Amino acid sequence: MITFEEFLKKVDDTFLNHQAARSRGKIKAENQWRYGQTIMNVLWEVWPDKHTEIKGSDIDCFYDNSNVQFTLDKLEKEWAV
């Protein structure tokens, strides 16, 4: 498995690539990913069990960017366990 820092880099890279695709007109505005959505999508790729645990919980940031820090705090704490 990748490290937490590598996960964060993958999230940032994915988010920025998605934003760039939007600015080049390759995706529609309504399909543009939010940062929390990007976190959960990348988490699904690298740690599906943890994604399933967080999905639908009080800290799920897929639909609510205000939960991003809660999600990242939990992931950082549990990443190396």
The model's pLDDT over 14-35, given as tens digits with 9 standing for 90+, comes to 998 877 766 666 666 656 789 9
At residue 29's C-alpha, the angle toward residues 24 and 33, to 5°, is 95
Structure tokens at 55: 């999905």
Distance (Å, whole) CA 49 – CA 44: 8
| Residue 28: burial class (beta carbons within 10 Å; 0-12, 13-18, 19+) | exposed
* Overall residue count recorded for the chain in this entry: 81
Q: Coil, helix or strand for 59?
A: coil
Q: Does residue 81 have a pLDDT over 80?
A: no
pTM: 0.88
